[in-house]
Amino acid sequence: MSIEDDGFVIRSLESEPGTIQVGGELDAHAANKLDDLVDQLLASGVTNLVMDIGGLTFIDSSGLRSLIRARKRLGDQPNAVVLRDPQAGTLRLLEITGLTEQFPVV
Amino acid sequence: MSIEDDGFVIRSLESEPGTIQVGGELDAHAANKLDDLVDQLLASGVTNLVMDIGGLTFIDSSGLRSLIRARKRLGDQPNAVVLRDPQAGTLRLLEITGLTEQFPVV
Amino acid sequence: MPDEVALQFPAAFEYIRLARLVASGLAAQVNFTLDDIEDLRIAVDELCSALVEAAADRSSTVTATFRIEDHQIHMEADVPTTAANGSYVIDDISSHILRAAVDRHELEQNADRLVARMSKQCLTVN
Amino acid sequence: MPDEVALQFPAAFEYIRLARLVASGLAAQVNFTLDDIEDLRIAVDELCSALVEAAADRSSTVTATFRIEDHQIHMEADVPTTAANGSYVIDDISSHILRAAVDRHELEQNADRLVARMSKQCLTVN
Ligand SMILES: Nc1ncnc2c1ncn2[C@@H]1O[C@H](COP(=O)(O)OP(=O)(O)O)[C@@H](O)[C@H]1O
Ligand SMILES: Nc1ncnc2c1ncn2[C@@H]1O[C@H](COP(=O)(O)OP(=O)(O)O)[C@@H](O)[C@H]1O
């Protein structure tokens, strides 16, 4: 599944179930779409999520809340939601908001 | 001399007197700066202008008027103002406005 | 009522790029093609430049309102100015560009303001 | 009076990127550094998102006004909404981001509208 827009792309990889590629700008509008995709994957039985965010150019508190929401739905286990390839801006935002511990980087 | 901005860059090349590099967006704001630079070069005795516009990403009627103005100041001779490396968008605009003949491409 | 987005800026040429930015941002959001976005950017630029040119000075405010309906984008923009300042006419060069870029455009001098309008039917990608 | 630029858009999340675009376009024009522009983009985004969240529905209009004075950029944004809709509070996450990104920010519920304000001192390049 893939949701695209001029501003962002959110795509679940067929080849790696549970991996979601998120690129572009993850603001409130895009975060709503991400929530929908996460719910679909959870309904299909996925128990861990890998967020492949190397292509993320912007993320705000709505984007972070969307990650927290996904983690909660997966029972808040330590590796419920892991981040692949986060860029400096994203790492800084996690740091500022005290969320670094909750989202291991792989 | 070089006038820069987030939107455009206008630069006269020391190594090639009479050559002006114009990059970015040549709108009315930038065209005013280009007029100033052209006047300086003319005052310094330049008799032909080469507009190196390979890096132009946008040009409007103000930009075209600035080229026409430069040509007039140089006595409207056929090679008064020549264009170096114009991109497709610029060529299309010259075509639409019937100015192709006035600005030879080198 | 369809959504409207409006930008207000001082009647000075350095702000016209913001009008181009908003127009192209809006058009990209509804997936108009790059060619249509490029045409839109230049038409918005030509009309807003005409308004800035016609304004008494930079303390006047240009208001540009964009509206998307189906596959059409409309802009209506204005600036306070009276015909006494000389009724504004678009020159041939700008006219040729506008005719090539959009389906309809006009400038209308009202009692106290100059109004520019344009509409363009656009294609979408995806 | 310093120049002001204002953007009006429907209270819907898909338009917030236009507010980011205008803020960064304006800041780039006065040569603010990329770091400052990035901070500004996120602060504008956080505050405008709060206003959209607080609005009754997308028929409400958000107005964001930007002003640059010396090396400071200010935004004042508002949306019509009453405290009866629940007075809006910025959560911890957004609060942390705003404190890191800008020098001052506030949300103020008036009788008929929620107002957001922010100011940031910026460095320039060149
Ligand atoms: N010159 C104009 N610029 C922008 N919008 C316009 C203009 N003229 C009309 N509109 C708007 O465009 C829509 C279609 O108008 P209409 O006159 O039926 O256009 P047409 O018949 O050429 O497609 C209407 O919503 C109207 O408000
Ligand atoms: N929260 C705010 N957001 C945006 N602009 C503001 C805010 N508070 C004040 N201003 C504007 O900023 C300028 C400086 O205000 P001032 O209260 O003297 O700030 P400070 O003393 O913190 O530098 C004034 O022009 C004022 O209108």
Could you give the ipTM of this predicted complex? 0.86
The closest ligand to the CA of C69 turns out to be 1
Average pLDDT taken over every residue of chain A: 94
Any residues with CB less than 8 A from the CB of B16 and at least 6 apart, and which? B50
Of residues C91, C95, C74, C86, the one with CA closest to residue C114:
C86
Q: How many CB pairs under 8 A join A and C?
A: 9
Q: Do C113 and C80 meet the contact criterion of CB atoms below 8 Å apart?
A: yes
Q: Give the other-Cβ count within 10 Å of A65's Cβ.
A: 16
Our CA-based measurement puts residue D86 at a distance from the nearest CA of chain B, in whole angstroms, of 42
C49 CB neighbours in chain B (<8 A) are 27-28, 60-62
Q: Do C79 and C62 meet the contact criterion of CB atoms below 8 Å apart?
A: yes
Any residues with CB less than 8 A from the CB of B37 and at least 6 apart, and which? B1, B3, B10, B12, B20
Give the number of residues written for chain C.
126
The closest ligand to the CA of D43 turns out to be 2
A53-90 confidence digits (pLDDT tens) = 999 999 999 999 999 999 999 999 999 999 999 999 99
Q: Which chains does chain A touch, 3 or more C-beta pairs < 8 A?
A: C, D
CA distance linking residue D35 with residue D46, whole number of Å? 17
More confident residue, D2 or A25: A25
Sorting pLDDT into bands at 50, 70 and 90, what band is D1? Answer: low
CA distance linking residue A102 with residue A59, whole number of Å? 17
Distance C69 CA to ligand 1 centre (A): 10
CA distance linking residue C17 with residue C62, whole number of Å? 13
D27-73 confidence digits (pLDDT tens) = 998 889 999 999 999 999 999 999 999 998 899 999 999 999 989 99
Q: What single-letter amino acid sits at D67? A: R
H or E element in which residue C105 lies: strand C104-109
Sorting pLDDT into bands at 50, 70 and 90, what band is A37? Answer: very high
B9-50 confidence digits (pLDDT tens) = 999 988 898 999 999 999 999 999 999 999 999 999 999 999
Distance D119 CA to ligand 2 centre (A): 7
Distance D61 CA to ligand 2 centre (A): 24
Interface of A with C in 6-65 (CB under 8 A): 6-7
pTM for the whole structure: 0.88
Tell if the CB–CB gap between C49 and B89 is shorter than 8 Å.
no
**C42: pLDDT strictly greater than 90:** yes
CA distance linking residue D126 with residue A9, whole number of Å? 35
Give the number of residues written for chain B.
106
CB distance C82 to ligand 1 below 6 Å: no
**B1: pLDDT strictly greater than 70:** no
Interface of D with B in 31-70 (CB under 8 A): 31
Task: State yes or no: chains A and B have 3 or more CB pairs below 8 A.
Answer: no
Buried b (16+ CB within 10 A) or exposed e, B85-101: ebeeebeebbebbebee
